[in-house]
Amino acid sequence: MPTSEPPIADTAAANREESLRIPPATRERPIWLRVGTLLDGVSTTPLKDAHIVYSDRCILFAGAEAPPRELVPEGRSAPDFDLPEFTLLPGLIEAHAHFFLEGGELDLGKRAAYLEQPPEQLLRHALPRLEKLARLGIVGVRDAGDRHGVGLALSKLYGSADRPLMPYVDSPGAAIHHRGGYGGFMAGPIEDFPSPAACVQARVQAGAHRIKLIATGIINFKKGAAAVAPQMTADEIRALVTAAQALGRQTLAHASGDQGIERAITSGVDSIEHGFFVRPDQLARLRDRRIAWVPTFAPVQKQIDHAERMGWDAEVASHLRRILDAHAASLEQAQAMGVTVIAGSDAGSVGVAHGLDFFYEIELMERAGLSPLAVLNSATGAGSARLAFGENFGRVKGGFASRFLLTRHSPLETVTNLRKPKLVVFDGAVLESAATLDPAGL
């Protein structure tokens, strides 16, 4: 079973990575690499013996043939580095995280006390996570709801002139829910506004890059079901989606249970988050309507991993395993049907650490039956193509940011190899491997 524990430092492997000294790329002095295997984030077949030329601003060329002469450093007739044993792949995109929460904390009392802190303190706790994520190879994060303004503040920081080493961040700000319904820790009630359109307008004025809807409650683990009726009607969701579209914003809908998922699908949201108990016919309509699915295995798996600490008995643990087995079967079916599947860990949920448990999430997707390449595409190019980020990243393609990974440990064998020492090229700079990254605060 995969675990979310930080990988033990592989000293020999780390030394091999450190022996490769690639200088920073600049606009005036791009770097030309040839690698044994290149994964571009969308293709179903890897490129072999491929070339990439990049500056600090963007990738200038990527392909199987040698690059055009005008793109390579002056006077060079061969690559700066020939790396036949390396795999190159796009930087990773975490499509569902909550920056305002410390995910690795399992003690429920401490988690509750953490949320009693003022927003400025929650922001201070979130800031050190940014560089750690970048060094892990996560180059973009879609924050998934936060009424404290932490995600919006981090997004503003990303756009500032004194930006630290950090992934791209966008955020919906406060999610939208019904007063008294699930989600109050990350959402604000729709009842605070005279209409759904006014609610969406207020979110956008506050800086929201997209609109997060809490369409349903959460799974009742004791019953092993989505036991509560959906929080929003189809008409309410549709009105929110229409208002968001009028302002050029995508919508992401927290939805589990087939009734709530049905309402979200028929209302035209852009993505279903979680989606436990989705039906096969609903998967087909996700595909046909180009609605993405972010399945978030990790939060439920963590309940099994720590069942005793969570207070779950054998009956509840069996419910959890049944839910995850059905979710895995749905994921396999979705992949076979052509649904756009995007990886997101729900980092910040109980036990789901930022960054490290994104690796756990994609390991769980592989364990559910997806091929390593399908999982890698879900963690890179699928999100880049569907989620309408404000910048181009998550693919190895001309014009996209020069943010990618280089590793001797092929992730095509297993995505778990991404935990091993690797090089992270981030805007042309080469970052040290994060094999011994400190998990504190994640």
CA–CA separation, 166 and 437 (whole Å) = 15
Q: What is the pLDDT of residues 68-90, one digit of tens each?
A: 999 987 778 899 999 999 999 99
Residue 20 has pLDDT above 90, yes or no: no
Q: Return the structure tokens found at 363.
A: 């390991």
What pLDDT does residue 226 have? 85
The CATH 2.30.40.10 portion of the chain extends over 11-91+392-431
Residue whose pair of structure tokens reads 């996700």 in the numeric block: 286
- When pLDDT is averaged across residues 167-192 and rounded to a whole number, the result is 97
What pLDDT does residue 434 have? 59
Mean pLDDT over each residue of the chain, to the nearest integer: 94
> Which burial class, exposed, middle or buried, applies to 48 when counting CB atoms under 10 A from its CB (0-12, 13-18, 19+)?
exposed
- When pLDDT is averaged across residues 310-330 and rounded to a whole number, the result is 96
Least confident of 10-24, 325-339, 341-355: 10-24
Q: What is the pLDDT of residues 265-286, one digit of tens each?
A: 999 999 999 999 999 999 999 9
CA–CA separation, 244 and 209 (whole Å) = 10
CA–CA separation, 36 and 58 (whole Å) = 21
What pLDDT does residue 1 have? 40
Q: What is the number of other CB atoms lying within 10 angstroms of the CB of residue 262?
A: 18
pLDDT band at 8 (very low <50, low <70, confident <90, very high): very low
The domain 92-386 having CATH identifier 3.20.20.140: the answer here is yes
Phi-psi region for residue 78, left (φ > 0), alpha (ψ -120 to 50) or beta?
Answer: beta
- Whether the CB-CB separation of 322 and 316 falls below 8 Å is answered with no
- When pLDDT is averaged across residues 301-329 and rounded to a whole number, the result is 96
pLDDT band at 216 (very low <50, low <70, confident <90, very high): very high
Residue 312 has pLDDT above 80, yes or no: yes
Phi, psi of 363 (to 5 degrees): -65, -40
CA–CA separation, 429 and 432 (whole Å) = 10
What pLDDT does residue 17 have? 54
Q: Report the percentage of the chain scoring pLDDT > 70.
A: 95
The CATH 3.20.20.140 portion of the chain extends over 92-386
Name 431's bridge partners: 424
What pLDDT does residue 179 have? 97
pLDDT band at 436 (very low <50, low <70, confident <90, very high): low
What pLDDT does residue 10 have? 44
- When pLDDT is averaged across residues 325-331 and rounded to a whole number, the result is 98
Specify the fold of 11-91+392-431: Urease, subunit C; domain 1 (2.30.40)
What pLDDT does residue 281 have? 98
